[in-house]
Amino acid sequence: MTTIRANCPSCGDVQLTAEDLTVRVCADDERGSYCFRCPDCQRAVAKEASRRIVDLLVSSGVRMQVWRLPAELGESRVGPPLTPDDLLWFEDVAAQVRRSLNR
């Protein structure tokens, strides 16, 4: 079982396993984040995660949720549209998730 070290604002570094974390990736703006409940103080902690961190967590067996912004926010979104590269990346991460689920 891979041990993942994360940082709780109250307790500092805490040791987690892949099951303790959830990675969330927004399909609309590609922002990644992860969240976990601190094993020491039970506080729910959420952090921004770069694509590299998301890859790392997912390949360690952390489950990933892809979510979309509510439709009414769609009009005001800024940022470039998804490119084929981004879609490839999603495919790749999704494949990793499938592999880890089949383990």
In the complex, least distance from residue 16 CB atom to Zn ion, rounded to whole angstroms: 11
HEC profile of 7-32: EECCCEEEEEEHHHEEEEEECCCCCE
Closer to Zn ion by CB, 14 or 93: give it: 14
> How far apart (Å, rounded) are the C-alpha atoms in residues 21 and 97?
14
Tokens standing for 103? 């383990």
In the complex, least distance from residue 22 CB atom to Zn ion, rounded to whole angstroms: 17
Per CB under 5 A, residues contacting Zn ion are 8, 10-11, 38, 40-41
In the complex, least distance from residue 5 CB atom to Zn ion, rounded to whole angstroms: 13
Tokens standing for 52? 């590299």
Closer to Zn ion by CB, 40 or 92: give it: 40
CA dihedral (52, 56, 57, 58) positive or negative: positive
Closer to Zn ion by CB, 16 or 58: give it: 16
